[in-house]
Amino acid sequence: MRLTRMITVTLAGAVLLPVAACSSDEPAPGKAPQAATAAPTEEPTPEDKGHPFTGLPADELGPVLAVKIENTSAGKPQLGLKSADIVYVEQVEAGLTRLMAIFSSKMPPKVGPVRSARISDLHIVPQFGKPAFAYSGVQTKMLPFMAKASLFDVGDTRNPGAFFRQPGRFAPYNLFANTKQLLAKAPKASKAKDIGFTFGDAPAEGGVPKKAFTVKWPAARFTFAWSEAKKQWLIWQDGKKDIAAEGGQLGAPTIVVQYTKTERSEFHDKNQSYTPLVHSTGKGTAIVLRDGKAYKARWERESEDSGTTFTTESGEPMNFAPGQVWVALASRKPVIP
């Protein structure tokens, strides 16, 4: 069942409180007590409505940490991704991909390999308020953009004590970070809040059974294959199982393939390959994978400081399955046979 708004009753009527997931349902009108003062109701807790990033029970909402993580074979296996609430897949130079992992409900002790930031990151993070953002360097031309961005900079230049070189790996794929030390440098980092996701039962109609779904970038390919036993979409990259450093194959109950406009930015790498700019605001189409089915959906994000909402083709909220969410920011049009 889709999460609904929590309410508080006062003598004047019903007052809606903002929460992570929204609905058009409203309480039926009723009469206020005539002779006695209404007892105050308890404020809703995170556990009442679930964590806004995962829909899972949460006693409290912790600070948000975003970490830029390597995603080529040289940097695998990655550490910490299993604990992420949300994982974004972004296109970078030469058609490759890099990840941005969002942590809040769980905080692994260490994460990595940590890599450099890109301009698309700075357009994604404002929806989280002002999170802590960990990365390993940024080109000089982008420094003014980083300084103005809605984030607490806990990268390796400003917070070197939080980073270390992992033995057995070679540079630049051996830089890891201690999350406790990252957050210690950002004591005012925003806590998790509504970013537009809704969790609950899948739509009654519209889903197409799928055993696997493949998403391609110019030089990278992801395949998400449904595991009935694990109730997850297990992840393959470039034909190989995506194995976590902690052990086991990476996977998530919900995969969102968000089709976006991607164009050249003003930045490029040392090989003169242009840096893509992924437009994560506006409107577009998506494919939501959950429960062994693929659903056509639409997404909308009005501004950079607002969240992204996903709806079905009929306009109802497109609920995700509770748990980790992967968002693949792709540029091709969705096709479901």
The verdict on 70 and 40 lying in the same domain is no
Contacts of 122 (CB under 8 A, 6+ apart): 145, 146, 149, 151
What mean pLDDT comes out for the span 86-113? 96
pLDDT: is 2 or 45 the higher one? 45
Helix (H) or strand (E) holding 143: helix 143-148
Task: Work out the pLDDT band at 269, boundaries 50, 70, 90.
Answer: low
190 lies in some domain? no
- Kindly report the number of other CB atoms within 10 A of residue 248's CB atom: 11
199 lies in some domain? no
323 lies in some domain? yes
pLDDT over 80 at 3, yes or no: no
Average confidence score pLDDT of the chain: 85
pLDDT given at position 205? 86
For residue 114, the cross-strand partners are 69
What mean pLDDT comes out for the span 128-154? 92
What mean pLDDT comes out for the span 120-126? 94
The verdict on 126 and 214 lying in the same domain is no
pLDDT over 50 at 112, yes or no: yes
194 lies in some domain? no
165 lies in some domain? yes
What mean pLDDT comes out for the span 189-202? 97
pLDDT over 90 at 166, yes or no: yes
Instruction: State pLDDT tens for residues 18-58.
Output: 333 333 333 333 333 333 334 444 444 554 679 999 999 99
* DSSP symbols for 117-131: --HHHHHHGGGGSS-
What mean pLDDT comes out for the span 103-112? 98
221 lies in some domain? yes
pLDDT given at position 276? 83
* DSSP symbols for 77-94: SPBSGGG-SEEEEEE-GG
Given 184, 218, 249, the domain boundary residue is 184
Contact, 297 vs 310, CB < 8 A?
A: yes
The verdict on 24 and 70 lying in the same domain is no
What mean pLDDT comes out for the span 290-299? 97
Q: How far apart are CA 172 and CA 114, in angstroms?
A: 9
What's the pTM? 0.83
What's the structural domain count of the chain? Answer: 3
User: Among residues of the chain, what percentage have pLDDT more than 70?
Assistant: 82
pLDDT over 70 at 88, yes or no: yes
The verdict on 94 and 153 lying in the same domain is yes
pLDDT given at position 337? 35
Task: Work out the pLDDT band at 108, boundaries 50, 70, 90.
Answer: very high
**Domain range for residue 74?**
65-184
158 lies in some domain? yes
The verdict on 83 and 142 lying in the same domain is yes
For residue 297, the cross-strand partners are 286, 312
Token pair, residue 299, equals 């997404």
Worst-scoring range by mean pLDDT, 29-33, 77-81, 220-224, 300-304? 29-33
Contact, 152 vs 132, CB < 8 A?
A: yes
The verdict on 32 and 81 lying in the same domain is no
What mean pLDDT comes out for the span 109-116? 97
Q: How far apart are CA 93 and CA 200, in angstroms?
A: 37
The verdict on 121 and 32 lying in the same domain is no
Helix (H) or strand (E) holding 145: helix 143-148
Q: How far apart are CA 226 and CA 233, in angstroms?
A: 4
pLDDT given at position 49? 72
DSSP SS3 for 220: strand
Instruction: State pLDDT tens for residues 282-293.
Output: 999 999 999 999
The CATH number of the domain holding residue 120 is: 3.50.90.10
pLDDT over 90 at 335, yes or no: no
The verdict on 99 and 133 lying in the same domain is yes
Given 184, 219, 245, the domain boundary residue is 184
The verdict on 38 and 70 lying in the same domain is no
The verdict on 140 and 32 lying in the same domain is no
147 lies in some domain? yes
The verdict on 177 and 143 lying in the same domain is yes
CA distances from 37 to 13, 32, 334 (A): 13, 9, 56
Token pair, residue 25, equals 């349902």
pLDDT given at position 34? 39
Helix (H) or strand (E) holding 181: helix 179-184
Task: Work out the pLDDT band at 223, boundaries 50, 70, 90.
Answer: very high
Selection from 144, 147, 121 nearest residue 280 by Cα: 121
The verdict on 175 and 267 lying in the same domain is no
Selection from 166, 137, 169 nearest residue 153 by Cα: 137
What mean pLDDT comes out for the span 175-202? 97
pLDDT given at position 278? 87
